[in-house]
Chains A and B, each alone.
Chain A
Amino acid sequence: MRATEVLRLAQPSPRAFAPALAFGLLSALSTVALLGTSAYLIARAAEQPPILYLSIAVVGVRAFALARATFRYLDRLAGHGAAFRALASLRVAIYERIIPLAPDGLAATRRGDLLARLVGDVDDLQNLSLKVVQPLLTSLLVAVLAVVGVWLLLPAAAIALAATLVIALVLGTWIDTRIAARAERELAPLRGSFADETLDFVQNLDVLAAFGATDARLLHLAETDARLTRSASRRAAGAGATAAVVSLLAGLATVAALVAGVPALGTALGTALGGQPLGATAFSGPLLAGHTFSGPLLAIVVLVPIAVFEVFAAVPLAAGAWRQVYASASRVASALPDALPPQLPASGVLDALTASAPPVWASPGGVPPIIRLVDVSATWPVLHGPHDRQGLAEALLPAPEPALRSVSVTVRPGERLLVEGPSGSGKTTLAHVLVRFLEHEGSVTIGGVDVRELAPEEVRTVIGLCEQVPYLFDANLRQNLLFARETATDDELLAVLARVGLAEWSAARGGLSARLGERGALVSGGEAQRIALARVLLADFPVVVFDEPTANVDSGRADTLLRDLLEAAGPDRSVVLISHTPVPPELVTQRLRLG
């Protein structure tokens, strides 16, 4: 996926975006008009005309004052509303692209906080319309309108205003971009090494304390910090350059208006406009009554640039916001490749296949089919994860070699296969091959049918997986079970909980309405496995793969948990049990050793 595609998804549709843009424009125009009209009012008043001649300007001043604040308020509301609406469709669009990749095609899944960052990046994209597109469009339109307005009064002043605005735009953006690029080049590696050292220090504080090495490490960290701070201080010299340039050009615009306006005092207005009548301009009759460039008009021409530049100051800020938004979009895009990596099974052939008569075993709860693996190897996709902002260790080493090599095994109906081996021997890889999260070489057949002829979704109706770290949604116990079988009644749910040994546990926590906390924070490792098993039982998969169910359970309770899990699975179901710790031999019927 390209970053531009992500950005297109993030930008609200023109229709949703129009009200915000209109209100923003009206507010900015009111800012300029307020100062311009005020200046005209005062300069014209100094000529002591009949007071009637001033009434329109007086009304204008008051109206523009009210309008500026009101439209600004409406602009912010409409802008946020549109951005949130765009967020809903953006989230859905990104989610739909994540589905075929998850879990093994997402670099992020290998480290939890990276996934959170991907989601954070998606959510940050709402700044595209709020902080980039809208301020840019508003500022540029106001600048153009102001130049046109000044042109009607004095073309020379308009040219001067336009020139200063263009220089400010080009110079300001160029300086801002250059400085940011240099900061990125200089600071990013320093930040990265400081972050690495800090993580090392905090994670290993016990060892450092026990080995008396804490002070030496702190000293080393202080040195890295000092280098980082020196570099950041040096960079600070560039920080204000953009603001200074805009301020300088704003002032020069006023000087230019004076230089252009003073000699023009008293000359006929019409000469500048090729003799065209001026009645249709935005200004009221009295303003142009003299048809000469008068003192009050000079006041307008001199003061309007001040207000225009006040609005225009948003442009360099928008450039900064654009860099952040673009970085977020690039990270999101890089996490979502256009083509599925070859190591992942393609999805979406389900419709074609379900049209033909489904095999008997495809129905949940049926007699488990024979699963046969012949010479199966599998490799994890090489992923280039989203670039880590802090430079915290990027734990994504390419895995060029197969994680699982030439495995052949047959799981007959009702059999218990134990897969053992040291960590890194491919146990989890095997589990992911079985549920078609990963593509494989060799052949895997279910009831004699090659799984490649089936949609991955269909394979997953036969083979269920109890993950090593079962995901518990931030919802109550009922909702965490119900999605496995949506028609289940509360009684059925309670019966399943009793079967997996959670009857008392759930009762003590308030039954099915008990909340499990964010990411199951209120649930221990063993209980999470039992909940995962309860889901698998509800979904009634004929074949169940347990991936290290005791990995997060203390050794004293591991055997009890294993016994409970296998007993609850029942005698008819086929079970593939993956474990790196010893399993009592009477619990399994076949063993497969990897690595």
Chain B
Amino acid sequence: MLANLKTPAQRHTAIFYGLIMVGFYFVPVFSDNFYLLSVFTTAYFYIIFATSWDVFAGYSHLMNFGHALFIGIAGYLTAFVDLHLGLPPLLVLPMCAVVCGLLGMFIGYLTLRMQGPYFAIITMAFAAVAYESAIMFSEYTGGEEGIPGIHPLTDSLIGDYYFVLVVMSLIFLFLLWFTRGRWGLVLKAISQNEDAVLASGINTAWVKIRAYSISGALCGIGGSVYAYSLTHVGPTSMEQVLSTTILIMAMVGGMGTITGPFLGALILVLFNELSRDMEEYRLLIYTVMVVVIIFFAPRGIVSWGQPIARAFKLGGKRGQAGS
């Protein structure tokens, strides 16, 4: 990957995200405040959700409005396996990845022919079906209450913090590697002109299905860790608000960049937590801010990287910020 960092701008971007990641590892060194660590852990979860959303939806511009489906499915699976079979997390995580990956492949296959708005509606519908089912089949799922009592990942707060952080780091690095290579290029090309990609001899349907599958698998890992971390899973883990939040974070950060959803999730979670003093105005400010950012910067806040870098005389003339 380092070999790909040709321009100074790309090097500066890499240093920028590298420093943030290293900073995350040092947070517990400076503070073991329960609240602070849990805020950061929440941010890591949303980074996993938003970046895994991005690898399919952000690159292909097929708006996935039901990404939380994978979080919920993985969460319930984790609860069943943990409580009934007692398997360790290191076995459960790959299991969730496989199940959600296959689920993504299946949904991808069903929705192959659908364009923009149709795709948005069907993804919403699948998540809603799962949500209603979780409430309806309450003997297995605990209904609205969900399933409590999942065993924690580690026996300490700091242990959990590092577990989540390591999983997030690995997923983030994998996604960067995956999208900076040929798959990212082909997915981007498909979003701009699918016919020309077909005419280049590439099976676009398969490329999209594969990306959706990866998106689901990685989100499934995140959803499983999420359930362990809360020691609980419930229907709220796949409700529409969560899916929409993920997508808004990715859009605010900058779709189709992986780094954008990373920043979008981090900034919005931190803002949401730090603005608790504003009490009832908090969510109003949050939502209005989101509308304003999407309106003025539809390419997300990573599109500001280049002008900012130039203002500080960093970076070269060309080379996209965040890529």
Bound together: no
Tell me the A residues contacting B by CB distance below 8 Å.
none
Tell me the B residues contacting A by CB distance below 8 Å.
none
